[in-house]
Amino acid sequence: MSEERREVLKMVAEGKITAEEGESLLQILDARDELRHDSAEPPSSKDRREGAVEISNVGPDILKDQDKPSREFRDAARDIKREARRDRHGSHRVCHEEPRTQMGFETGETFDLEINNRHGDIEVKSWVGNSLQIDYQITVWAKDEETAKKIASNIEIRIEPEKDASDRATKTSITTNYPKKWKLWRNSGPRARVDYWLVVPHQTNLELHNRHGNVSVDDSCGTTTVSSRHGDVALGTIEGHLNLDTRHGNVKADSIQGNVCFGGGHGNAKLSKVGGNFEGDHAHGHLELDEVGGDLALAHRHGNAVIHSVGGTVEVYKGHGQIELREIRGTFNIDAHHAGTHLDVTSPLSGDCVIKGHHARVDLVAPENAFASIRASTYRGNITSEFEGNLTEEKRNQQFIATLGESGANLQISNHHGRINLRRRDGLVD
């Protein structure tokens, strides 16, 4: 007797369900087991439809003779039928792993590596030697071991090095080609993936393209380009520039000494340090930058963004969420829609600085010598200021004007349907 049938009898004995309900559950289990037996061979589309209808009708047919079935009975019947549908669609597959393959060859002092993969993880580490080591492993899920082995044998790993006169590789491309005839990743059919582990020379320019899987780069001295559709990206120290494009997945980076060009779709991103400029477009998710040594140009929507320090100019468009900019030391232009804005200025500025707010609050903290003048206006909102100036109010509008000195930036703030709060940092900052 199966464990599920014992559980049904136990429910009857404990009075959780009636004897009639227990008999009905046993009939549903019988119907499910029959469907499991029929699905030992891959079902056709017609079989899947008929099987789904059959198991869905078992419960209603049984319930006709019962006035008010108990909650326990309904929950148990639902779980059994749900499991039967999964079985009918072939969710149970065997897993076959090919032996891990390793190869390598000598490279020049500078080296370019490109990888194109569809399903699987890519892990890259660097070392001081001038050689490339490639490890990969093929994994297949199919209805049986024989089918899985056939699919694995038809997966092509194409490794194409370009070599110089001394037979050292200057560039290598790695491509994963999957057999089309097996119709992988469709509905309840077979699945396959190829995982890569690589050790590359420290001075390597990386170009990694991955569709479904995680990507990690430990350390790299060259330019690093990562394109990831579904998966997380983890980066160590990147001494060169970084080009990063992610669709669905989180990003974590320790240190990027060069410039960063970042495109993010759905996922959170945290970059500890960017030595150069940061240019980013992030759609959905939280963004945190600990330090940007150069200029910041950012478009960010649907999520919170926190930038702890920016050494250069700031250009930001922010929609829906919160934007927090700390330790700002350069000219800024901020346009925020339905996003609260907090700005912390730590140094005297020059030129023109602009903040435009829409349907959210604007908070600014700055030393008195940061600005030569401040002009702030709000529609359907209030203005509070610790800077000395004139505040006027007319109907639904408020305006604040302050002349603070001969040096410093000219600050202009406008806000619609939101308040403006201006705070003065004590003391003058050099």
- The reply to whether 280 falls in a domain is no
- Tell me the three state secondary structure of residue 313: coil
**pLDDT in the model for residue 234:** 96
The pairing of strands 420-425 and 156-163 is unpaired
Q: What is the mean pLDDT of the chain?
A: 86
Burial category of 428 from C-beta neighbours within 10 Å (exposed 0-12, middle 13-18, buried 19 and up): exposed
Residue 360 lies in a domain: no
pLDDT in tens, 328-361: 999 999 999 999 999 999 988 989 999 999 999 9
- d(Cα 425, Cα 371) in Å, to the nearest integer? 12
Same domain membership, residue 122 and residue 69: no
Confidence bin at 118 (pLDDT 50/70/90):
very high
Q: Determine which of 40-54, 143-157, 314-328, 336-350 has the lowest per-residue pLDDT on average.
A: 40-54
Percent of the chain with pLDDT over 70: 85
Let me know if residue 349 belongs to a domain: no
Tell whether 168 and 111 lie within a shared domain. Answer: yes
When pLDDT is averaged across residues 249-257 and rounded to a whole number, the result is 95
- Is pLDDT of 51 > 60? no
Same domain, 83 and 97: no
- The DSSP output letter for 163 is E
Nearest to 409 by CA among 373, 375, 376: 373
**Residue 303 pLDDT level (bands cut at 50, 70, 90):** very high
Report if residue 310 sits inside a domain: no
Using alpha carbons, select from 389, 396, 390, 339 the residue that is nearest to residue 363.
339
Banded model confidence at residue 93, pLDDT cuts 50, 70, 90: confident
User: pLDDT, tens digit, for every residue of 375-430?
Assistant: 999 998 999 999 999 999 988 899 999 998 888 899 999 999 999 999 998 755 55
| Lowest-pLDDT choice from 54-68, 108-122, 183-197 | 54-68
In a domain, 129, yes or no: yes
Q: What is the dihedral of CA 384, 361, 263, 345, to 10 degrees?
A: 10
Does residue 206 share a domain with residue 126?
yes
Span 140-145, average pLDDT: 93
- Domain count across the chain: 2
Residue 18 covered by a domain? yes
Asked if 103 and 203 sit in the same domain, the reply is yes
Map residue 390 onto helix, strand or coil. strand
| Same domain as 197, residue 110 | yes
The confidence score (pLDDT) of residue 429 equals: 52
Question: What is the extent of the structural domain holding 104?
Answer: 93-213
**Would the pLDDT of 213 be above 90?**
yes
Could you say which DSSP state residue 274 is in?
B
Angle between helices 3-13 and 71-88 (to 10 degrees): 170
Residues 190, 167: one domain?
yes
> Residue 52 CA to chain centroid, in angstroms?
35
Q: Is residue 201 part of a domain?
A: yes
For 6-15, write each residue's pLDDT tens digit.
Answer: 777 777 777 7
Residue 251: CB atoms within 10 A of its CB come to 23
Whole-number pLDDT of residue 56: 45
Task: Locate all alpha helices (DSSP H) within 64-220, ordered by sequence.
Answer: 71-88, 145-153
What are the structure tokens assigned to 186, written together?
């469709």
Query: Does residue 237 form part of some domain?
Result: no
- What is the value of pTM for the model shown? 0.77
CA distance 353 to 314: 9
**What whole-number distance in Å separates Cα of residue 366 and Cα of residue 370?**
6
Q: Kindly report which listed range (34-48, 76-90, 155-169, 387-401) carries the lowest average pLDDT score.
A: 34-48
Q: Which of 47, 62, 88 is the last residue of a domain?
A: 88
| Residue where a domain terminates, one of 42, 63, 88 | 88
What percentage of the chain exceeds 90 in pLDDT?
67
